[in-house]
């Protein structure tokens, strides 16, 4: 902040003017302070507003801007005139601009870049829904605050001039779309072009068509292919689509946001008429077992429920879930057979999980590996990743999802956390190994699905049906068949707060009823058998092991140890004595199970034998990260 200059106002709109935050072609930006100490940014607009028509446009556009929901934007609070000069009062954002960060620190990488992309798209979706086109989206108009990126100055460019041609450019040339140079009006699609150019600059340090002499720059924007540098993955694909020469080929901000969030909601799900009007491009404004190594309280490696993220809140408010269509089932490809056999006893390679300090120790001979992971750290985004069965590489799957890969890798299934906001029904997202996706309708509200689990052969998915209006009591279970495209819901009375797991034959389910009785049901809900007095059921499916076909409980005599029981007869088959601090997370093969072990400030994910002896370390990382990042193990 610089001190006030001679002639600067000392008070604007009831705010004491403290100093100068910046100065440019549009005017001067001051830091203002109200009587209660609240800080605001006040922009005095001196350029381009000396005509009555321009002043009228200014009032109209700022009126639109004040309707923008405060998602990742510096909210417009007030506007007016002082001595004939218009001003805009907006929320003060304490943080540098993206342009300053790129200049001082260099390009952004990894999760930081993805958070920037999602936050700015959220802002553009909110801006466009209010009927506003930014027209000057660029690194200088994105501020990086401690609570995420904020977009500023939306609506002002439109107020400063109607003519948009090579003779009178409204915008910043390296970030302007082709239509802004050939006389066509800028619309929402132009903002998407500028957004993509800004993301490329954030990732590489330079805009996709470079800088320099204006005629050459315009020629590159109009005719050349963009240089996307090291931008990769779904963000690279999205940026390329947004940099299309024709506005109609670019996605809307809402669609682009959904793409990065990993959702496949239809475009007509946009909530209100303000957003619907902007769907027309160029709109003129005013115009075997699969044990998860988790970190939640009940399980050794599972974190507590994460809070609501800004991006998800924005999506819920900007989008109304529409009834999901029932597309015809694609011709199913033969499902791969899960790899048989045991785990290797030693590791041969190391793999660091992207954007974490967690290292996996692997062996090509392993029959089981980490097939997906969910990052529940308090980043406000909850990114999730799945592993390519062919290359072994992890790729981004979506935000606020919970992808789990089937044994054999035939399918990835996910229950989006945003389903909890719906009030009509739920769907489950399914992706096959060719990349084709579909969504199946599952249960009607107030029911919801929880704790999905693949069968051992990877052909069906089991989930517990919860009634959210009845203290989250389980009211039955659902079996999803992705090949047939079917969902079968079986109601069970008197189940209580429980979770269902597969029996070993994948034709039955197990659960612990009130009173401690462990029951086995067929898939129509008929009881097959029941066992009393065996201890608390460990929520894992029945397993075929060297000890026989068993299920596990916490031993009644010592709840730290694991007792195993014959699935058919209930006879005791053995006891696993766990070392102090070690947790049990289900069987990997017929001789080894998955466990977690503290190691100073780290946590190790380990493979243990039936005696409780650690055979091999499978993963390691800081405790805080392994407490908040879910590693899902499944057969290859």
For residue 211, which of 95, 101, 103, 97 has the smallest C-alpha distance? 103
What is the Rg, in whole angstroms, of the alpha carbon atoms belonging to the chain? 28
Burial of residue 233 (CB within 10 Å: 0-12, 13-18, 19+) is exposed
Per-residue confidence (pLDDT) for residue 302, from 0 to 100: 27
How far is residue 590's CA from residue 595's CA, in Å, rounded to a whole number?
15
Tokens of 75: 């909210």
- What proportion of the chain, given as a percentage, has pLDDT over 70? 81
Residues whose CB is less than 8 angstroms from the CB of residue 501 and which lie 6 or more positions away in sequence, other chains included: 453, 462, 509, 510, 511, 539, 540, 541, 542, 551
Q: Which residues of the chain have pLDDT under 70?
A: 24-26, 46-67, 69-71, 154-171, 263-333, 378-381
Tokens of 197: 């150019």
Tokens of 570: 């209930």
Whether the upstream peptide bond of residue 446 has omega within 30° of 0, thus cis, is yes
Tell me the catalytic residues: 136
How far is residue 28's CA from residue 30's CA, in Å, rounded to a whole number?
6
Exposure string for 327-361, b = 16+ CB within 10 A, e = fewer = eeeeeeeebbebbeeebeeeeeeebebbbbebebb
Tokens of 168: 């009178």
- DSSP code per residue over 126-184: HHHHTT---S--SGGGEEEETTEEEE--TTHHHHT-S--SSSS--S-GGG--GGGTTTP
Strands 527-531 and 518-522: antiparallel
Tell me how many degrees the CA angle 358-364-369 measures, rounded to the nearest 5.
45
Per-residue confidence (pLDDT) for residue 533, from 0 to 100: 93
Tokens of 225: 């292919």
The architecture CATH gives domain 295-635: 6 Propeller (2.120)
Facing residues of 374 across strands?
Answer: 384, 630
Residues whose CB is less than 8 angstroms from the CB of residue 216 and which lie 6 or more positions away in sequence, other chains included: none
Per-residue confidence (pLDDT) for residue 297, from 0 to 100: 28
Tell me how many degrees the CA angle 464-469-471 measures, rounded to the nearest 5.
70
Q: Strands across the sheet with 425-432, in order?
A: 404-405, 411-414, 425-432, 437-444
Sketch the domain layout of the chain as residue ranges: 11-277, 295-635
Fold classification of 11-277 is Transferase(Phosphotransferase); domain 1 (1.10.510)
How far is residue 563's CA from residue 135's CA, in Å, rounded to a whole number?
66
Exposure string for 29-59, b = 16+ CB within 10 A, e = fewer = bbbbeeeeeeebbbbbbeebbeeeebbebbe
Question: pLDDT tens across 594-616, in order?
Answer: 999 998 899 999 999 999 999 99
Question: pLDDT tens across 92-128, in order?
Answer: 888 899 999 999 999 999 889 999 999 999 989 888 8
- Please give the helix or strand (H or E) that residue 323 lies within, else none: none
- DSSP code per residue over 363-384: -TT-SEEEEEEEE-SSSSS-EE
């Amino acid at each position: 902040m610089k001190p006030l200059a001679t002639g600067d106002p000392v008070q604007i709109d009831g705010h004491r003017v403290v100093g100068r935050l910046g100065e440019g072609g549009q005017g001067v930006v001051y830091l203002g302070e109200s009587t209660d100490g609240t800080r605001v940014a006040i922009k005095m607009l001196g350029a381009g507003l000396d005509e009555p028509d321009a002043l009228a446009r200014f009032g109209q556009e700022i009126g639109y801007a004040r309707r923008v929901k405060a998602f990742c934007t510096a909210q417009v609070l007030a506007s007016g005139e002082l001595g004939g000069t218009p001003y805009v009062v907006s929320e003060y954002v304490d943080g540098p601009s993206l342009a300053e960060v790129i200049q001082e620190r260099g390009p952004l990488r990894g999760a930081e870049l993805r958070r920037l992309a999602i936050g700015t798209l959220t802002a553009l979706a909110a801006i466009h829904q209010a009927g506003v086109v930014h027209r000057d989206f660029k690194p200088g108009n994105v501020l990086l605050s401690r609570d995420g990126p904020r977009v500023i100055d939306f609506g002002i460019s439109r107020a400063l001039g109607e003519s948009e041609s090579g003779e009178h450019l409204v915008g910043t040339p390296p970030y302007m779309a082709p239509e802004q140079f050939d006389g066509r009006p800028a619309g929402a699609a132009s903002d998407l072009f500028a957004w993509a150019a800004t993301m490329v600059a954030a990732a590489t340090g330079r805009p996709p068509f470079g800088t320099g002499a204006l005629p050459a720059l315009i020629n590159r924007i109009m005719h050349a292919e963009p240089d996307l540098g090291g931008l990769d993955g779904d963000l690279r694909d999205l940026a390329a689509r947004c940099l299309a020469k024709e506005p109609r080929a670019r996605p809307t901000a809402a669609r682009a946001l959904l793409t990065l969030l990993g959702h496949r909601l239809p475009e007509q799900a946009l909530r209100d008429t303000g957003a619907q009007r902007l769907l027309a491009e160029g709109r003129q404004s005013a115009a075997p077992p699969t044990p998860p190594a988790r970190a939640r309280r009940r399980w050794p490696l599972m974190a507590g429920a994460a809070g609501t993220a800004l991006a998800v809140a924005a999506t819920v408010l900007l989008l109304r879930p529409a009834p999901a269509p029932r597309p015809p089932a694609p011709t199913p490809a033969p499902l791969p057979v899960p790899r048989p056999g045991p785990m290797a006893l030693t590791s041969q390679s190391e793999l660091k999980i992207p954007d974490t300090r967690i290292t996996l120790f692997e062996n090509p001979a392993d029959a089981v590996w980490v097939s997906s992971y969910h990052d529940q750290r308090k980043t406000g985004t909850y990114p999730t990743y799945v592993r390519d069965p062919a290359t072994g590489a992890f790729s981004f799957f979506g935000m606020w999802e919970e992808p789990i890969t089937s044994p054999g890798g035939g399918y990835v299934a996910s229950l989006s956390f945003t389903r909890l906001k719906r009030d009509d029904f739920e769907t489950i997202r399914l992706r096959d190994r060719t990349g084709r996706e579909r969504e199946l309708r599952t249960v009607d509200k107030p029911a919801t699905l929880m704790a999905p689990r693949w069968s051992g052969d990877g052909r069906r998915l089991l989930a517990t049906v919860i009634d959210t209006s009845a203290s989250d009591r389980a009211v039955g279970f659902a079996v999803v068949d992705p090949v047939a495209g079917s969902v079968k819901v079986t109601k069970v009375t008197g189940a209580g707060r429980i979770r269902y797991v597969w029996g070993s034959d994948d034709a039955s389910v197990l659960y612990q009823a009130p009173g401690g009785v462990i029951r086995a049901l067929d898939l129509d809900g008929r009881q097959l058998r029941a066992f009393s007095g065996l201890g608390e059921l460990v929520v894992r499916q029945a397993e075929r092991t060297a000890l026989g076909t068993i299920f596990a409980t916490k031993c009644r005599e010592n709840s730290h140890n694991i007792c195993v029981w014959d699935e058919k007869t209930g006879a005791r088959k053995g006891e696993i004595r766990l070392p102090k601090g070690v947790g049990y997370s289900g069987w990997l093969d017929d001789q080894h199970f998955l466990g977690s072990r503290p190691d100073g400030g780290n946590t190790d994910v380990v493979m243990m034998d039936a005696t409780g002896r650690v055979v091999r370390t499978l993963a390691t990382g800081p405790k805080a990260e392994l407490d908040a990042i879910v590693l899902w193990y499944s057969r290859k």
